[in-house]
Amino acid sequence: MACLYSIDAYAASEEQTIGKALEAALDEVDRIDRLMSHYKPESPLSTINREAAHHPVALDPELFAFIKRSMEYSQQSGGAFDITVGPLMKAWGFFRGDGHLPNPDELTAARARVGARHVRLDEGARTIRFDTDGVQLDLGGIAKGYAVDRVVEILRQRQITAALVSAGGSTVYGLGTPPGRAGWTVSIQDPVDSRKTAHEVLLNNRSVSVAGSSEKSFAVGGIRYSHIMDPRSGQPVQGILSVAVLTATGTDGDALDDALFVLGPEKSRAYLQHHRDAEALFFLPDTHGGWTMVREEASR
């Protein structure tokens, strides 16, 4: 999943027991990476991308349920979140690269292969099929959060009382509370100056996920293009610096941060009605080269 997972944990048990719990948790991250990576040619996801345009591909229950859930995020967001965005990432040079401007023919071809309408799920047979060649699933916008949730579940099973689980800092879950504190304090990076902190959140059995335009981007002609795509237009999103989303699960947060980044503050309000426990912090550019923060949540 192209990031470093880290766990800080407290437990009432002996050191050997907690060490085994953390080892099991990180082994689970590796398992999910082997299952859902589109960079590994032998992964089940890569098999789907190679074969599903030619015939239905049978999936194990976990991967089928996860893809189905991902498609539900796409429906709820009106296509702002879309796991078929893979061809666009390749066209814009963000697959194994730092990005470049696509030519018009490349972009037209990529857009024709993007959209949830191209994916056919058969729940009875538990298969997936694409209706056209060249469709590519990319679970990178949600799999990190899912892996965080699986880690948290394993830690709970092993009686770990408090832990901070981080997927490269982009999705962080605070399990319980550290000794003597009300929660885990997590800093959100300043979207303009990475040396500074823009905001702090307190996590107690809650997750924060961050999507930022500075993570991977390039500039041409004075315009900066980030890796966060609007699947509907085929263009990188403009006018947003970063979005931080507080949710009950890492999976929710990982999907929502990209979707809300695409939708922007005003259009996000309707989507947040589907996720009433979520709170979103938008960091928007101001006229002085800095930023301003806008908070959005579901109306009560």
CA distance 127 to 115: 18
pTM of this structure: 0.94
pLDDT at res. 13? 66
For residues 100 and 118, give the distance between their C-alpha atoms in angstroms, rounded to a whole number. 26
Question: Taking a C-beta distance cutoff of 8 angstroms, is the pair 35, 63 a contact?
Answer: yes
| pLDDT on residue 213 | 86
- The angle, 0 to 180 degrees and rounded to 10, between the axes of the packed helices 61-76 and 250-272 is 20
Domain residue extents for the chain: 161-297
Domain 161-297 maps to which CATH number in 3.30.930.10, 3.10.520.10, 3.20.20.70, 3.40.190.10?
3.10.520.10
Q: What is the pLDDT of residue 148?
A: 98
pLDDT of residue 300: 57
* 151 SS3 class: helix
Please give the C-alpha separations between residue 214 and each of 192, 220, 225, 228, 241, in angstroms, as whole numbers: 8, 15, 9, 10, 7
Q: What one-character DSSP code corresponds to residue 139?
A: G
Which residues in the chain show pLDDT less than 70? 13, 15, 299-300
